[in-house]
Amino acid sequence: MPFPDFLQHEYPLKHLNTFSIDVRAKHYLRVTSLELLRAALADPQLAAMPRLVLGGGSNLLLTRDFPGLVLHIALEGRDILAGTPTHHHVRAAAGETWHDFVQWTLAQGIGGLENLSLIPGTVGAAPIQNIGAYGAETKDYFLSLSAFDPASCDVRVMGGAECRFAYRDSVFKHEGRELIILDVSYALPRAWQPNLRYAELANALAEQGLAAPTPQQVADTVIAIRRRKLPDPAQIGNAGSFFKNPVVSAEHCAQLLEKFPALVHHRQPDGSEKLAAGWLIDQCGWKGRTMGAAGVYPKQALVLVNNGGATGAEVQALAAAIQADVAARYGVALEPEPVFI
């Protein structure tokens, strides 16, 4: 039985993942409408094969050619909804670039997402990972999303409780992994106040003499900090922060502080302690080191990079070696942020 004409075959994915891993998809579809998505999954051959939903490819490590169907979500559109007396409501299609969406909200005079500026990836991927940076997370402003359920071919509208957001986690990494996000809506406060809980951001604004910064000034400062610390994926393949900051018990943290007084840690509301994964990796001597064509970024130990021609397996091996060293030295398990395929 022939495949539908809208498919492409043996499609290169190097330009569709920020690690620039050179692999191929057996079958590929750029999804530009819900109708096209329905048509693809209504085909018995396509519905039965392994499926990978791809957004910006920024939270992904491709370790091999993908043997099934890659659905590249390219849905577009942004709009301002009715809102409430206290909040602006904005919505964007899943294929919109996250940073462009944030900048668009600011251009409309709507603040709230500025701390999440320059995070790579798409709007549709943001809830999956519950992306966060500089004291803010997706869940802080999340209103709802629409998702296509391949099992029922229905579109579901989901609120925050259903999404079960946690630190770099959501239901979409677990039993909701088959759902395909179509669009996401956010509620942003009309009475905006800067979120300066993150000391590095607060200090950077103070150094500029910005005692009462605007949303755009906060965004510009976040962008400057990120560009200083993180490599541009267009120049050096990477997926941003590769490991989650581990959370340990207060007792474990106290034991570590006795042995390592300079340990970077942050008390959490529940009494646990979040450790700085980058510090742990740096102290193990990994910053700037390489394994094959994969390496640890010299300016930020939390970032693994493709120095040119690295395979997904090389990056995976490097990550495993770092995990082993951190576990041996600190008794702490590092969990990768990217999904390994």
Residues 160 and 107 reside in one and the same domain: yes
Structural domain harbouring 22: 8-73
Distance between CA atoms of residues 193 and 198, nearest Å: 14
Strands 237-241 and 303-306 come out as antiparallel
Number of domains forming the structure of the chain: 3
Looking at residue 2, what is its pLDDT? 58
* CATH number of the domain enclosing 158: 3.30.465.10
Looking at residue 4, what is its pLDDT? 63
Strand partners, 91: 79, 185
Residue 185 lies in a domain: yes
Residues 82 and 222 reside in one and the same domain: yes
Residues 110 and 191 reside in one and the same domain: yes
3-class SS at 328?
helix
Distance between CA atoms of residues 21 and 335, nearest Å: 21
Residue 325 lies in a domain: yes
Radius of gyration for the chain, computed over Cα atoms and rounded to the nearest angstrom: 21
Residues 218 and 96 reside in one and the same domain: yes
Distance between CA atoms of residues 31 and 52, nearest Å: 12
Looking at residue 267, what is its pLDDT? 86
Residues 153 and 287 reside in one and the same domain: no
Instruction: Write down the mean pLDDT value for the chain.
Output: 92
Looking at residue 1, what is its pLDDT? 54
Looking at residue 283, what is its pLDDT? 93
pLDDT digits (tens, 9 = 90+) for 328-337: 999 999 999 8
Write out the catalytic residue numbers: 168, 241, 337
Looking at residue 307, what is its pLDDT? 93
Residues 98 and 205 reside in one and the same domain: yes
Residues 330 and 253 reside in one and the same domain: yes
Looking at residue 180, what is its pLDDT? 95
Residues 185 and 248 reside in one and the same domain: no
* Segments in the chain below pLDDT 50: none
Instruction: Calculate the alpha carbon distances from 217 to 107, 202, 210, 308 in Å.
Output: 12, 12, 8, 35
